[in-house]
Structure 1
Amino acid sequence: MTFFHFGNCIALAFGPYFLTYKYSGMPEYGAFWRCAQVGGMYMLTQLCKMLMLATFFPTSDGPPETASLVTEMVKTTVDFGDVMGLSIVLGRVPGVGHIKILITGLGWAAADLLLTRALPLWVGARGLEFDWKYIQISLDANISLVHHLNMALLVWLWWRSDLAAAVRPIVAVLLAGCVYRPLLPQLLGILVGSPPVGFALLAACATPTLCTAIIACHVFITHSASYH
């Protein structure tokens, strides 16, 4: 039972990444090592973000509940470093638009999966008892894949010189929404009285991710149609 639970969690977490790579046309471009290079840039970006947080926002000795929403918002602003990192990667990855977006987004998301979720799944999902927590971690990895692909798409759109002026503010708002998405559970907790947990937390993360992804894809399709 333990082996099947572990295998289920691994398949649920890593399967969509493999399927995205295999059936998106990236193997035809030899994109595996490019994705690995994007993952290296992801690690460098996260290191710079941690140094900034440790320098300007040192951890306090008080309980985490005392942290104000404004303080968390300021800390979350550091995540704009991901936007800068994605911009650098998109400028260096060769290929047509949609391949650049797929390589950058998938490489970024895969590095995030390996660094933040692989170890908890390896250590915890092999335990003697079944725990829904690891299913939630696996599902959250799928949400993260959509999130990072969406971020790469929005950054690519933002730097397009031929993007319509009326659309650029929409892209900017969507980018800001992606960056500040981690604050949504805290905002819901303030409105409802208690922060969402479990699958409610997954729903709170998945809903804005899917909404912004649908809008971004519509902008991309419209832009591509008008460009051609």
Structure 2
Amino acid sequence: MTLYHFGNCLALIYTPYYFSYKYSGLSEYGAFWKCIQAGGIYMFTQLCKMLVLATFFPFTDNAENPDLISEFLKSTVDLADIIGMYVVLAGIPGKGHSKVLTAGIGWATAEVILSRALLLWVGTRGQEFDWRYIQKCLESNVSLIQHISTVTLIWLWSRHDLQKTFKPIVTGLIVFNCYKPMLLDLLISVLLTGPWTALLIKAFVTLCVGVVTLQIYAGLAQAIGIY
């Protein structure tokens, strides 16, 4: 039972990442090492964020009365992810869809390996089944969509041929993605929802952002012929 649970969680968390790489055409572009490079930049970015958080925002156990200003400033540190993704995009040659998918999948894969691998190895090998790990796996799949959407927004923002009417929308969505974890956690704490409902809320919001991003990207791609 323990081995079955562990294998089930591994398949649930990593299969969408593999299929995204395999069937998006990235394997034909030889993008594997670019994904590795994106993962390296991800690790460096997270190290910088950890140093900033540990220096200016030491951990305090105050979950019952969180300081909103402190949480806002902590979420502001996530702007470093935007810089890291921009650096990844700048270092990837090729067309728009290959750049976006390579950066997004590479970044998301590095995150899921560093943040979920040890958790699954320690947790799912226990004697008792726990739905918490299934929820974490599904949440990682939501993160894949979020990272690809964020990278797409950064690519759109960097384009000089993006219509001016879309520029505020793209900028607003980038900023929203930075503060989305804080906002969703605040909403979930107010609604007092369970873990499954919280997961559905996160998935719904991420899907909405992804659909809007896809519409803007599709319009620009069709206009300049980068499919």
**TM norm structure 1:** 0.95
Distance across 2 between alignment mates of 1:186 and 1:8: 28
Map of 1:139 onto structure 2: 138
- In the TM superposition, structure 1's runs of 4+ consecutive aligned residues that sit over 6 Å from their partners are none
Take 1:185 and 1:65, find their aligned partners in 2: how far apart are those partners?
17
Q: Which one-letter code corresponds to 1:2 in the other structure?
A: T
Deviation, structure 1 residue 190:
5.2
Equivalent residues of 1:12, 1:139 under 8 A apart:
yes
2:115 corresponds to: 116
Match of 1:157 in 2: 156
Among 209, 214, 225, the alignment partner of 1:212 is: 209
Separation of aligned partners in 2, 1:59 and 1:2: 34
In structure 2, how many angstroms separate the alpha carbons of the residues matched to 1:189 and 1:96? 39
Alignment partner, residue 106 of structure 1: 105
Work out whether residues 101 and 148 of structure 2, in 8 Å CA contact, stay in contact via their aligned partners in 1.
yes
**1:32 aligned residue:** 32
Deviation (angstroms), 1:189:
4.1
The answer to whether the 8 Å contact 2:100/2:152 transfers is yes
Query: One-letter code of the match for 1:209?
Result: T
2: distance between equivalents of 1:90 and 1:65?
40
Aligned-partner Cα distance in 2 for 1:51–1:204? 31
Deviation of the 1:178 alpha carbon: 0.9
Q: Distance in 2 between matches of 1:183 and 1:3?
A: 35
Which residues of structure 2 form unaligned runs of 5+?
Answer: none
* Structure 1, unpaired ranges of 5+: none
- 1:1-150 matches, within 5 Å, as 1-60=1-60, 62-150=61-149
The secondary structure found in structure 2 opposite 1:180 is: helix
Aligned length: 225
TM-score relative to the length of structure 2? 0.95
- Cα displacement (A) at 1:66: 2.3
One-letter identity of the residue aligned with 1:44: F
CA displacement, residues 181-208 of structure 1 (integer Å, 9 cap, x when unaligned): 111333224533x3x3421221121111
The aligned residue for residue 202 of structure 1 is 199
| Contact 2:188 2:198 survives alignment (8 Å) | no
User: In 2, Cα distance between the equivalents of 1:24 and 1:190?
Assistant: 37
Q: Which moved further from structure 2: 16-25 or 199-208?
A: 199-208
In structure 2, C-alpha distance between the alignment counterparts of 1:7 and 1:41, rounded to whole Å: 29
For 1:129-178, what per-residue CA distance to the aligned partner results, in whole angstroms no more than 9, with x for missing partners? 11101100110110011111111100000000111111000001111111
Percent of matched pairs sharing the same residue: 47
CA distance in 1, matches of 2:86, 2:32: 20
Contact 1:184/1:205 (8 A) holds in 2 = no
Deviation at 1:94, TM superposition (A): 1.1
Q: How far apart, CA to CA, are the structure 2 residues paired with 1:16 and 1:100? A: 19
Distance in 1 of aligned mates of 2:221 and 2:29: 21
